[in-house]
Amino acid sequence: MKKINWKISAAIVAVSAIFIQIIAQEKTVQPADANKDLLVMTNPPAEIRNMLRKSCYDCHSVQTKMPWYAGLPGVKSMINDHIESGRKHLNFSNWGSYTDKRMVSKLNQCANEIDKGGMPLKSYTAIHWGAKLNSTEKATLVAWFKAEADSVKAKMAVQ
């Protein structure tokens, strides 16, 4: 009898540990100066805003929305690695502190990455289906990034 109780307790502990992992997701949201955010600065149409939020903002901003399974051991560390590296390369929450030249280069890079299917990362969309972009969405986003690059370039020419 005693032995069975021990096994049941161990099972309860193991199951609880998994649930705690799922519920207690690491908080990756950090306070940011909202005025420096790409979406605040460019104020794009809702369609663009939604696409950027669902497909890029998890890794390229401080506004990370995690799927519930992001708390699972293994998945969590993989996603956190992506976020850390993604933000280092490009942080839309910090857009306002980029120079015009850097903005143009990053906007063009974004258009290229989406166009050739490099972004959002495939390893991410494989587990986070909601972040996938269909071909129409890709074309719309690419056009938007290119237009933004042109408008920053035009602004630079005036200065």
Q: By the criterion CB under 6 A, which residues form the site for ligand HEC?
A: 55-56, 58-60, 82, 85-86, 89-90, 106, 109-110, 113-114, 119-121, 124, 131
Of residues 36 and 65, the one with the C-beta less far from ligand HEC? 65
Considering the complex, what minimum distance in angstroms separates the CB of residue 15 from ligand HEC? 29
- Return d(Cα 115, Cα 122) in angstroms, integer: 13
Neighbouring residues of 26: CB distance < 8 A, sequence distance ≥ 6:
76, 80
Are 114 and 133 contacting, i.e. CB atoms less than 8 angstroms apart? yes
As given in the structure block, the two tokens for residue 104 are 């143009």
Based on the number of CB atoms within 10 Å of its own CB, is 154 exposed (0-12), middle (13-18) or buried (19 or more)?
A: exposed
Considering the complex, what minimum distance in angstroms separates the CB of residue 2 from ligand HEC? 48
Considering the complex, what minimum distance in angstroms separates the CB of residue 136 from ligand HEC? 14
Neighbouring residues of 156: CB distance < 8 A, sequence distance ≥ 6:
100, 101, 104
Of residues 59 and 152, the one with the C-beta less far from ligand HEC? 59
Of residues 16 and 123, the one with the C-beta less far from ligand HEC? 123
Are 62 and 87 contacting, i.e. CB atoms less than 8 angstroms apart? yes
Considering the complex, what minimum distance in angstroms separates the CB of residue 155 from ligand HEC? 20
Considering the complex, what minimum distance in angstroms separates the CB of residue 38 from ligand HEC? 10
- Return d(Cα 159, Cα 155) in angstroms, integer: 7
Of residues 8 and 122, the one with the C-beta less far from ligand HEC? 122
Of residues 9 and 85, the one with the C-beta less far from ligand HEC? 85
